[in-house]
Each structure stands twice: as structure tokens, then as C-alpha cells.
Amino acid sequence: MSAVTPGAALKQIAAGDLAPVYLVLGDDDIEKAELADAFEQVVDEGLRAFNVERIDGAEATLRQVVAAAAALPMMAARRIVIVRRAERCLAPKRESRATAADLAAFEEYLADPYPHAVLVLVAAGLDRRRRTTARLLEAATQVTGDVLASVPEAERWVRRRVSAAGRSIEPAAARFVAARAGPDLPRLRGEVERLLLFVGDEPAVRLDDARMVAGPAAAHDDWAVARAIERGQTASALKELALIMESGAAPYLVLGQLAWVVRTKMPNHRIAGAVESLYRTDLDIKSSVGDPRVLLERLVLELCDG
């Protein structure tokens, strides 16, 4: 097994020097999807309809994957087969003679891949106890997405991401964004995407830009949601709730603040309904009925609208 970074894989794609089998792993679904899309670039756009095949591993068998790779390319040197959610077909829920035969056929393919095909398997994770997984790890070039463990690593990721977008970023701005989001890759990606959208066509991202985009959440007023509800400003209350939740506030802390609004600021004729909404939200959060943020958004709407 060989292992490369996403950046190294993109260089291989640009050079057209591709391995026969790739295994794309990682926690960032967006990064995995972007990398899978990049493999299409080795085929001329006008010929992709004939030479690029996308397969959902939750709906296809490994035998179908092998058959897709076996098909000869049309007016192109290579055929690209991309399998998303590959973990689903690599570990079928039901074991049978048919699935055993599919696994055997796939292992045979891994031992001697077709030279005209590039098979790209995109997976969230793999059961490494399975023999087929071991065969795959031996045969494939493994591409593992970024895994961040510290704020300095997050800062380096911010710089790479901004650079990939064709812009530069001040060191202080990169540190600010990384410190705000921490080594949480999905959240960090969201922060950078919002920042790039904010600067538009500007060639450089400045610290002031980062502060303007992140300011309300970086130095957030913990009672902003409560005050917006008190004033009946629904849109503002929802915005402030989003900021405070993104900054890592505990749902029960927010719920407690909203209860204070009901106890101290709510008109008498609305208290009964507001208390019922609080009780239902508290019960739903404790029972894991839904995403706490969504439940709190529903509560904010009810408190604002009466």
C-alpha cells in the first residue's frame, strides 16, 4: 500500500500519472467529494459521458463495480470509475453465496487491475478485520484527508485553503480564524468559506476582514438572544442563536437564558404558552428527539411570534 496526501494526489491527476486503484478516506465529506471530482479531469470534458461512471456503493455490488471498470474507454486512454459510500458494498449487510462471489471477484480485480481503468473508492471508514479490506489496503493508493489535532495545524490548513482559492492571508488573520474554530475541520471549512465569500475578488485576506466576519461570534454577547426575543426581533434572535451555538454554547445554557426571558420579560397573557414551549423543548433535548440547535430555533420562533 502507498499513501499520499490530497495535494500529492492532485499533482498525480494533473500530471496524468495515475495508479489503477485509489482509496479516498477522511472525515471531511466535502474534501472527499472535491477530490473524487478531480479525477474526472483526466478525461476530456466532451468524453466524460462515455468514460466516467459514478456508482453508489449503497446501491451497487462489487461485481457491478468490477464490470464498470472492465468496460473499455471510448475515444480516450482511460476510464474513470468513482464509487462513493464504498464501505457499503465492501461490507455487505447480508452474507450469501452471491456476496461471497462478489468479494472474490473484487479481490481478483485488485490482484490484476485493468490497465485502462482508474478505480476510485471513496469511503467514510473501513472494517479492517475483513480480508477484502486487507487486500484493498495492499493494492490501493490511499489518500487520507486532513486530520487536525491542534490550533497550529488548523492555522496551516487555513493558509493552504486560502492559497488554493488563489488568495493570500495575513498570518494574524489565519491565526485568528484557527483560534476561533479550533481543529474542527467542518467548522473550520465553514469559517474559511464565509471569509472568502466576504472578501470577494480582493487578492488578500486581512485580519480586519476576519474580525468583521467573525466578530459577533468571537466576542459574543451571551444575552443577545434573550434581548432579541424580548424586543420581538425574530430574525435577529435566530442569527444570534446561530452565532452562540457555533461558538460552542451548551444547549441547556441557552435554554436557561430563554427560561429567564419567559419568567421576567414575557407578558402575562403569553406566559402559559411560552412555558409549554420551554417544557416541550427541554423534554425533546433530553430525549434526543432532534438536533438541539434545531429545537432551540423552533423555541425561539415560538417565543418571538407568540
3-state secondary structure the chain: CEEECHHHHHHHHHHCCCCCEEEEECCCHHHHHHHHHHHHHHCCHHHHHHHEEEEECCCCCHHHHHHHHHCCCCCCCCEEEEEECHHHHHCCCCCCHHHHHHHHHHHHHHHCCCCCEEEEEECCCCCCCCHHHHHHHHHCEEEECCCCCCHHHHHHHHHHHHHHCCCEECHHHHHHHHHHHCCCHHHHHHHHHHHHHHHCCCCEECHHHHHHHHHHHHCCCCCHHHHHHHCCCHHHHHHHHHHHHHCCCCHHHHHHHHHHHHHHHCCHHHHHHHHHHHHHHHHHHHCCCCCHHHHHHHHHHHHHHC
* pLDDT band at residue 147 using 50, 70 and 90 as cut-offs: low
Q: What average pLDDT does range 166-171 have in this prediction? A: 93
pLDDT in tens, 22-55: 999 876 777 788 888 899 988 998 999 999 999 9
Give, in words, the CATH class of 151-218.
mainly alpha
* pLDDT band at residue 221 using 50, 70 and 90 as cut-offs: low
Classified by CATH at the fold level, domain 2-144 comes out as Rossmann fold (3.40.50)
Select from 38, 68, 66 the least CA-distant residue to 51. 68
Q: What average pLDDT does range 250-267 have in this prediction? A: 83
pLDDT higher than 80, residue 121: yes
pLDDT higher than 70, residue 222: no
Report the chain's mean pLDDT, rounded to a whole number.
86
Cα distance between residue 165 and residue 28, in whole Å: 18
In terms of average pLDDT, the best of 79-88, 153-162, 273-282 is 79-88
Q: Which three cell numbers stand for residue 168?
A: 493570500
pLDDT given for residue 62 in this prediction: 94
Q: Specify the higher pLDDT residue, 20 or 265.
A: 20
pTM: 0.57
pLDDT higher than 60, residue 219: no
pLDDT given for residue 86 in this prediction: 93
CA angle 58, 59, 60 (to 5 degrees): 105
Q: Specify the higher pLDDT residue, 183 or 55.
A: 55
pLDDT higher than 60, residue 306: no
Strands 168-169 and 141-144: unpaired
* pLDDT band at residue 251 using 50, 70 and 90 as cut-offs: confident
Torsion angle of alpha carbons 98, 100, 102, 103, nearest 10°? Answer: 170
CATH 1.10.8.60 positions along the chain are: 151-218
Lowest mean pLDDT: which of 2-11, 218-227, 247-256?
218-227
* pLDDT band at residue 216 using 50, 70 and 90 as cut-offs: very low
* pLDDT band at residue 1 using 50, 70 and 90 as cut-offs: low
pLDDT given for residue 290 in this prediction: 84
pLDDT given for residue 194 in this prediction: 86
Q: Specify the higher pLDDT residue, 244 or 107.
A: 107
The CATH number assigned to the domain with range 224-305 reads 1.20.272
pLDDT given for residue 218 in this prediction: 38
pLDDT given for residue 254 in this prediction: 84
